[in-house]
Amino acid sequence: MEVKRLEAEEKESTRALYAEAFPEDSARARDYYYETRMRENAVYAIRNGSEVMGMLCLNPCRVRFGGREWDLSYIVAVATGKKHRRKGVMRRILTAALLDEYAEKKPFVFLKPANPDYYTPFQFAYASKREKRILKNDARYHCKRVDTADDALLAELSRCANDVLGEKYQCYCLRSPAYLRQIGGELSAGDGRMLSVWERQDGGERLIGMECFDYADTVERDARLVLPESASIKFCGTEPFIMLRVLSLPEFFAGISLRQEIAAEERELLFSLKDPLIEENNGVFLLHATKHGSRIERLPATAKRGWEVTELTPEELVSVFFGMKQEAWAKELTAYRAYFDEEM
């Protein structure tokens, strides 16, 4: 079984499998996906003649991470034909895609799992929780449906959303007019809608953020919000949300630093990593962390002798450095706080 990255003209051949695997998507939503996302993404598949046995898509996403902007991949549409399941089809496809992403020296890939058990064998781990929230009914706020043809509004909304996210998070997908236009189109292709949120003040109003609903307006449920902390928000709970898979170690660690309250100017962490998928990630490493960032140095295997070495896995790197769990060996180091929402 050979994994192939499909050419643009070959992507349409995956439509039957997509429809079989995701019957919850309406024909309208499916058509919109193939008319938009399929033009820009990467599709990996295994085929038997004209039949697509399995597939996945890598949707490109501009991400702010570790003080830099990255072109990263969001994994979606992971599907295996019913008669081809439990034959190693998806293992081959996902492995090929991850190795290609590693070769491009990306820090990670991410996805929203239908079932986390599908991805833990590939060393994915949860990196964020989704806060279920809704904007309270308040006379201060005025919400308007976003016209995705209004370029000036989309530019203003992008700037506002990025400012709000940048105040609180170190990892998030950057908003742009093209990004918002895509999200708005996907919501409209279903039963959803995207609203801009304005705050009334001094006889006028100012834009403070946005909210997205992926259900009809006759339903009262939590929304996907990008709003400042000062907004009146009702919290409805949290849920594990996005999973990450570490790829290139130097890029992953670049945004980690020594906490500002630590008196020392530098700390070192000696650790070993066992990565069943990416051979180059196996070994012993020394992390040099300062108040301004960090770098890692690969050490010879003999360095483990007589030294205190913290043994880690790719899953532990995600869990600890995205703040999902606390470990004593990392208490003096910062962690990334991530926001992923509309990307689902």
3-state secondary structure 189-249: HCCCEEEEEEEEECCEEEEEEEEEECCCCCCCCCEEEECCCCCCEEEEEEEECCEEEECCH
Whether 317 and 127 have beta carbons less than 8 Å apart is answered as: no
Q: Which of 283, 314, 311 is nearest to 299 (CA)?
A: 283
Residue-wise pLDDT tens for the chain (344 aa)?
Answer: 899 999 999 999 999 999 999 999 999 999 999 999 999 999 999 999 999 999 999 999 999 999 999 999 999 999 999 999 999 999 999 999 999 999 999 999 999 999 999 999 999 999 999 988 889 988 899 999 999 999 999 999 999 999 999 999 999 999 999 999 999 999 988 888 999 999 998 889 999 999 998 877 656 677 889 999 999 999 888 899 999 999 999 999 999 999 999 999 999 999 999 999 999 999 999 999 999 999 999 998 777 667 788 999 999 999 999 999 999 999 999 999 999 986 65
Which residue type sits at 315?
A: E
Can you say how many angstroms the Cα of residue 6 is from the centroid of all Cα atoms in its chain?
23
pLDDT at residue 307, rounded to an integer: 77
CA distance 30 to 38: 11
- Find out whether 266 and 290 touch, Cβ atoms under 8 Å: yes
- Taking CA atoms, 190 is separated from 11, 51, 234, 321, in Å, by 22, 28, 25, 35
pLDDT at 305: 66
Q: Three-class SS of residue 33?
A: helix
Token pair 């809608």 in the structure block, residue = 193
Classify 26 as helix, strand or coil: coil
